[in-house]
Amino acid sequence: MQRYFRSARAAISSEGHDIAHKPFTPWKGDQLRAALLLFCAPPILALSAYLVPDIRLYAAAAAALSLLLGWRIRSRVQARQHGQEIEATFSSRAIPELEKAGFTVESGHLTRYGDIDLIVRRAGWCATIEIKSFRFWRGRLRDQARQRKARVQARRQKEALGADLAVIWLPKGWPTWLTRVMNWLLPERNPIVVMGTARWLAKEIARHSPPSR
């Protein structure tokens, strides 16, 4: 009997471990919808048009709409997958730099607002870091919507964790002249935005945090 309970506890522990380390893939549903729209709906509509000639025009229009919508959803999925690849790559570069700066680092913390890429702590102080694959920030007017969305996400994650600072890190970003002008006129403080290397990220966060003891 004791052996049975030990086995059960081990199975539960193993299952909990797997769930805790399960990759965060919120795009899976969209990936399935895109596949249905691109590869399932058009053949079904073509067969329907063949069997019922009177609906050919409607079937053709529906097939074209299905392909267009499927392509758009697939493009969105690919963009999110690319973003996750950037997060994984640059998280591994940031962690040692942040630890060298005296911070403790946690990655992949899930909240009701999504996955927080990195959480750094030092001397009772805490910051959340959201990693984005954007190359431009405040440098192109067409990017305003996604920048606004990123700011809202970073603020919500900070509030969910009760952190002192929210950071958006753009490891592949490069400031344009417009970015520099906007940052000089209206510097961003909630969240702050850091563009550049992991070492520069660690320096900027250290500048906003209390000194290490």
Whole-angstrom distance, CA of residue 119 vs CA of residue 51: 59
Beta bridge partners, 126, equal 121
Task: Mark whether 63 and 143 lie in a shared domain.
Answer: no
Domain count of the chain? Answer: 2
Whole-angstrom distance, CA of residue 189 vs CA of residue 26: 29
Task: Mark whether 198 and 129 lie in a shared domain.
Answer: yes
Residue 1 placed within a domain: no
3-state class (DSSP) for residue 131: strand
Q: Name the domain boundary from 41, 64, 82.
A: 82
Task: Mark whether 166 and 155 lie in a shared domain.
Answer: yes
Task: Mark whether 88 and 176 lie in a shared domain.
Answer: yes
Contacts of 22 (CB under 8 A, 6+ apart): none
Residue 97 placed within a domain: yes
pTM: 0.67
Mean pLDDT by 10 residues, the chain (213 residues): 38 36 62 81 85 86 88 79 77 93 88 84 93 87 87 93 94 88 90 94 92 70
Task: Mark whether 59 and 127 lie in a shared domain.
Answer: no
**What is the residue type of 189?**
R
Q: Look up residue 162 and give its two tokens.
A: 């009760």
- Please report, for the domain that includes residue 193, its CATH number: 3.40.1350.10
Question: Residues 158, 170: contact at Cβ < 8 Å?
Answer: no
What pLDDT score was predicted for residue 1?
A: 38
Domain of residue 197, residue span: 84-208
Task: Mark whether 96 and 171 lie in a shared domain.
Answer: yes
What pLDDT score was predicted for residue 39?
A: 86
Task: Mark whether 161 and 175 lie in a shared domain.
Answer: yes
